[in-house]
Amino acid sequence: MKKRNILWILLSCIIINTSLFTKHISNNDSIQDICQKIDMLAMPQESKNQVKDEVYRLERIQPSEAAGIVDYLECVLSLPWGITTEDNYNIKRAKRILDKDHYGLEKIKEQILDFIALKNLNKDNHAPILCFVGPPGTGKTSLGKSIARSLGKKYARIALGGINDEAEVRGHRRTYIGSMPGRIIKTIKNVGSSNPVIILDEIDKILSHSSYSGNPSAAMLEVLDPEQNKEFYDNYLEIPFDLSQVMFIATANDISTIPRPLRDRMEIIEVTGYTCSEKIKIAQQHLVKKALEESGLVGLNIQITDAILEKLIIGYTWESGVRQLKRMIKTLCAKIARGI
């Protein structure tokens, strides 16, 4: 049989209006070229052989079927197999970043620093998953972002609110039209590192019972279990991917709605609300400056005093966090801009 290259497949697919131009597969690549790229990946040999089987299928299938295979190969080649960033477990640096990014929360910061110190002493230790629990707007997600910055890791966030399909976590089988990897693998692919910090936002709102679409909370157990996530199986990939180096951090508003098996795998850190004086400090250090920049008011000598902020907090916001206060400050800046 005459060896086909990807150019032949691409030209054939143009006839059926299918575009297969990808980042990792060139239109001049031969079957052997793609196999060489697979050999360079830091994945188990068994997985390499399985992926190569898909490459060899390109020699004997119809062009109309090639799109799905090339998409699959592009996904595999795009994943950061064995690619990591260098961790920085400097406690002083971590404390400096946490203090700069977050006012108050001293007890929570101490718990985070203790967690980082333990990870530094035993990097192979299966530390529990941190879970920040508290009202909206108290800084749970931003704490995770600060942890990533202090450790020198890449950062990503996955919103879990309302997920009721197991395939959202574990991926779709490739027998379905339009199938794709689950959110975990897609996130790993996007950050380009196999050891990022991933925020699992609103883990308390993930569906916790089985339905015709599976049980997403059960799939999340495999993601968070250190005994299983070293060989996490995504239905789309059909080969294991190592998630053991990923630092997962969960956030939740209500711990009581988190299934117990999930809760047992996490270390709960309660993030309580702020006092009025703490909100004023947070506003002056972070919210006001950002609102002035976004409104184009920087350099116009505009000041929002503590008294104004106190009036906004007491008279116009009813919350434990500062999310509504942030909106009110932006509204105030908009009014000022209109009056200039």
CA 9 to chain centre: 35
Rg of the chain, C-alpha, whole Å: 24
Q: Within this chain, do residues 231 and 318 fall inside the same structural domain, yes or no? A: no
CA atoms of 181 and 238, how far apart (whole Å): 10
* Closest alpha carbon to 71 in 138, 20, 135, 36: 20
CA atoms of 206 and 162, how far apart (whole Å): 6
Structure tokens at 103: 């006012």
In a domain? residue 28: yes
Q: Within this chain, do residues 305 and 212 fall inside the same structural domain, yes or no? A: no
Out of 26, 55, 78, a domain closes at 78
Three-state DSSP class for residue 218: helix
Is the whole-model pTM more than 0.85?
no
Q: Within this chain, do residues 190 and 47 fall inside the same structural domain, yes or no? A: no
Q: Within this chain, do residues 141 and 13 fall inside the same structural domain, yes or no? A: no
Q: Do the beta carbons of residue 229 and residue 243 sit within 8 Å?
A: yes
- The whole-number pLDDT of residue 15 equals 37
In a domain? residue 208: yes
Q: Within this chain, do residues 251 and 287 fall inside the same structural domain, yes or no? A: no
In a domain? residue 242: yes
In a domain? residue 84: no
In a domain? residue 1: no
CA atoms of 155 and 175, how far apart (whole Å): 32
**Domain extent at residue 199:** 91-270
Q: pLDDT tens track of the chain, all 340 residues?
A: 444 555 445 444 433 334 444 566 666 667 888 889 999 999 999 999 999 998 888 777 776 677 788 889 989 999 999 999 998 989 999 999 999 988 888 889 998 998 888 888 776 656 678 999 998 888 899 999 999 999 999 999 999 987 888 889 999 988 887 889 999 999 999 999 999 999 999 999 886 665 666 788 888 988 998 888 899 999 999 999 999 899 999 999 988 888 888 888 888 999 888 889 889 998 998 899 999 988 888 888 888 999 999 999 998 888 888 889 999 999 999 988 887 7
Out of 220, 243, 270, a domain closes at 270
In a domain? residue 99: yes
- The whole-number pLDDT of residue 83 equals 92
Q: Within this chain, do residues 116 and 211 fall inside the same structural domain, yes or no? A: yes
Q: Within this chain, do residues 58 and 187 fall inside the same structural domain, yes or no? A: no
Run of H or E residues at 266: strand 266-270
In a domain? residue 250: yes
Based on the structure, what is the number of domains in the chain? 3
CATH number of the structural domain spanning residue 316: 1.10.8.60
CA atoms of 40 and 30, how far apart (whole Å): 16
Q: Within this chain, do residues 144 and 60 fall inside the same structural domain, yes or no? A: no
Number of helices (H), then strands (E), belonging to the chain: the values are 15, 7
Q: Within this chain, do residues 60 and 142 fall inside the same structural domain, yes or no? A: no
Q: Within this chain, do residues 262 and 280 fall inside the same structural domain, yes or no? A: no
CA atoms of 248 and 32, how far apart (whole Å): 38
Q: Within this chain, do residues 73 and 122 fall inside the same structural domain, yes or no? A: no
Q: Within this chain, do residues 280 and 262 fall inside the same structural domain, yes or no? A: no
Count of beta carbons in the 10 Å neighbourhood of residue 340: 8
CA atoms of 117 and 110, how far apart (whole Å): 10
Out of 78, 108, 136, a domain closes at 78
